[in-house]
Amino acid sequence: MKMFKQLSLILAFIAFSMPAISQAAEHTVNAEARVFNADIIYIELGDTVKWNNMTSHNAVSYVAPEGSKGFGEHGALPGGSFSTTPDKEGIYGYACEPHVGFGMVGVIVVGNVTQEMKDATKKKAMETLQGPFKRIIGKINKIEVK
């Protein structure tokens, strides 16, 4: 009986902890008048990001980890909602192209990002981003690393 109790405790623990390991989550970002809320989100690889209220907005990546295909379509408005599942661990910086001049930019941090990754992403962003898209650098600066 004691062994059965221990076994059921172990099974209950496994059942409880499994979803946290294996289930991908969906994170919601709300496009507001001139901002993304939240502007910086932290997710795990395999998770999905869904933007709502995208009728007059878009979300196009301008900074992405090495080898990533990024997300969003230049010049297009997805309308309604738009979802992406980032394909690499690292930092994605994106902009709403119609409102980038107002600072409507955001960052997605996928997985565990180190200070070196943050510094390297910032360096690359400073070399490649132009005009108002440089505002993405300000968001990269605010990323919290462990």
Q: How far is the CB of 24 from Cu ion (least distance, A)?
A: 27
Separation between Cα atoms, residue 74 and residue 126, nearest integer Å: 20
Choices 9-17, 99-107, 122-130, 135-143; region in contact with Cu ion by CB under 5 A:
99-107
Binding residues with Cu ion: total (CB under 5 A): 4
Query: Should residue 96 be labelled a site residue for Cu ion when binding is judged by CB under 5 A?
Result: yes
Q: Is 99 one of the binding residues for Cu ion (CB under 5 A)?
A: yes
Nearer to Cu ion, 45 or 77 (CB): 77
Among 57, 118, 122, 139, binds Cu ion (CB under 5 A): 57
Q: Among 42, 43, 35, which residue's Cα sits nearest to residue 59?
A: 35
**Interface with Cu ion by CB under 5 A: which residues?**
57, 96, 99, 104
